[in-house]
Structures are given as structure tokens and as C-alpha cells.
Amino acid sequence: MHQYDVSDPMNPKLTGKVEIGGITAKNKHSNGKNFAYGPQMVEISRDGKRVYWTNSLYSSWDDQFYPDDEGGQMVMANVGENGGLTLDENFYVNFPDGYRSHQIRLEGGDCSTDSFCYPSV
């Protein structure tokens, strides 16, 4: 995942980067555990201080592209006040084999996709 400062849209600047998972690189989580496949679904907390992602898109596609059925994971990165992303070593959800994680929904509407529920946003 790359984070860019786009305050000047014609001159974006890379401000943060996290590499995890992947088909060929297979970058591990900073806690040393595997992150199967690659990041798929991404959510940003409403306060912009956390980024969550999971590794499942659609189960039928997952079964085709990743037939090993390793189970799903969910991870989180903390966002620095002046940019930058850091994986949270203590936030790593490993679902049992055969289970996959898709959309992230936090109670209380903490994520970006829940904004439509709040007319004041």
C-alpha cells in the first residue's frame, strides 16, 4: 500500500509505504506471520489514523487464484501525523482455514464506507 500527498495533484509525493503479502514476494507481517495472497479490501478509519485491509475479494475468485485455502487475515496500519504508514504488530487477525474476510465494518461506523449512514458527514 502506498500513501501519497496529493495536495498538488499534478505532483504527487510518496509519503508512506507498507508491503505485505503478494503472490511472488510473500512479504510477511512485521510480527513475522504470513499474510496469504495480497491485500484486497481496504478501509480507512473515519479519523484517518488507521488503515485496515483484508486478503479476500470474492470466494469464487479466491478459490481459483489461491487454491491452497489458507484462511483469511486482517491487518491494520497506523498513519503518522505527517504521513507514513506503520503496520501495527499487535493487530493481526488470522481466520480459521476455510474462512475468509472481506469487507471491514467496525461498530459505530468507524470506517469510510459507513459514511453514507451519517448525514452530517
Give the amino acid at 33. Answer: K
What one-character DSSP code corresponds to residue 23?
S
- Of residues 16 and 72, which shows the higher confidence score? 16
Interatomic CA distance for residues 103 and 44, integer angstroms: 12
Range name among 45-49, 57-61, 97-101, 104-108 with the lowest pLDDT average: 104-108
Q: What is the pLDDT of residue 106?
A: 65
Please write the tens of the pLDDT for every residue from 41-90: 888 887 888 888 888 777 777 777 776 666 788 999 999 988 899 999 99
> Domain segments of the chain: what residues?
20-95
Taking residues 20-43, report their average pLDDT.
82
Positive or negative: CA dihedral 9, 40, 116, 110:
negative
Average pLDDT, the chain: 80
Does residue 74 contact residue 51 with C-beta atoms inside 8 Å? no
Q: How far is CA 98 from the centre of its chain?
A: 20
Taking residues 100-106, report their average pLDDT.
72
Q: What is the pLDDT of residue 110?
A: 55
The residues, any chain, with a CB within 8 Å of residue 112's CB and separated by 6 or more, are 43, 44, 45, 46
